[in-house]
Chain A
Amino acid sequence: SQTIHQWPATLVQPVGSPLSLECTVEGTSNPNLYWYRQAAGRGLQLLFYSVGIGQISSEVPQNLSASRPQDRQFILSSKKLLLSDSGFYLCAWSRGQQRDTQYFGPGTRLTVL
């Protein structure tokens, strides 16, 4: 069966510091991968998606970036965090087929102070 991991689970960072969140998927090959952000009390916003190694598409321009160095690894980064980057970050995967279900990881709660 497939599992998706995210770490760290929680993170408190000062404004202006760098960020690296990691997501890995087990039990499947060539998944589509997604990063979402959920601000407090709001719905989910798609940030990045990837259909393969090194292939990243951005949905929302901001100071965040994403990379996919390996087939089942997806990384969310920032060089300098802003207060507005606080939120709950969720990684998701789906099979590389159109309209397939997305399955979500446990999430990382980021607080920028």
Chain B
Amino acid sequence: AQKVTQAQTEISVVEKEDVTLDCVYETRDTTYYLFWYKQPPSGELVFLIRRNSFDEQNEISGRYSWNFQKSTSSFNFTITASQVVDSAVYFCALSEAFNFGNEKLTFGTGTRLTIIP
């Protein structure tokens, strides 16, 4: 069975500090996808990134960067120079293919990030 672990339940940092959110996953699939979603106080899940298991290149998008390490089954997310608007719950998720080519996402329990002004 697939599993996603986000060991950090809550993190608080002062604005402009860098912060890394950890994600560790377990899967028997040889091909899989990893995702990060942001859930602001409004509740909607906002898609941030999708990463193919064959692509281990790190990715940077503005202040956001992702470090994918297959050897340690980790897909960590770093926010550089954090801002108050980054305050949210962040979910890491792992895809699992099932019937009819459909996709099931296994979510971690989320990390609540609070940026203190």
Contacts and interface: CB of A to CB of B under 8 A. Distances in A.
Contact of A99 (B97, B99, B110): B97
A97 B101 contact: yes
B43 A109 contact: yes
A81 B75 CA distance: 38
Contact of A102 (B42, B44, B105): B105
B50 A101 contact: yes
Chain A interface size band reads 20 to 34
Given A32-B103, A107-B43, A43 B95 contact: no
Contacts of A105: 44
B64 interface: no
Contact of B102 (A49, A103, A106): A49
A100 B95 CA distance: 9
Contacts, number: 57
A11 interface: no
Contacts of A42: 109
B107 interface: yes
A3 B23 CA distance: 29
A104 B103 contact: no
Interface in B22-50: 31-33, 35, 37, 42-47, 50
Contacts of A32: 102-103
B59 to A, nearest CB: 15
* Ranked 10 nearest A-B pairs via Cβ: A104-B45, A98-B101, A43-B107, A43-B109, A107-B43, A44-B107, A106-B44, A99-B33, A101-B50, A51-B100
Interface of B: 31-33, 35, 37, 42-47, 50, 91, 95, 97, 99-105, 107-110
Given A43-B110, A44-B105, A101-B35, 5 more contacts: A44-B45, A102-B103, A104-B37, A104-B47, A107-B44
14 contacts: A43-B110, A44-B91, A46-B104, A51-B102, A98-B103, A99-B31, A99-B97, A99-B103, A101-B35, A101-B47, A104-B37, A105-B44, A106-B42, A106-B43
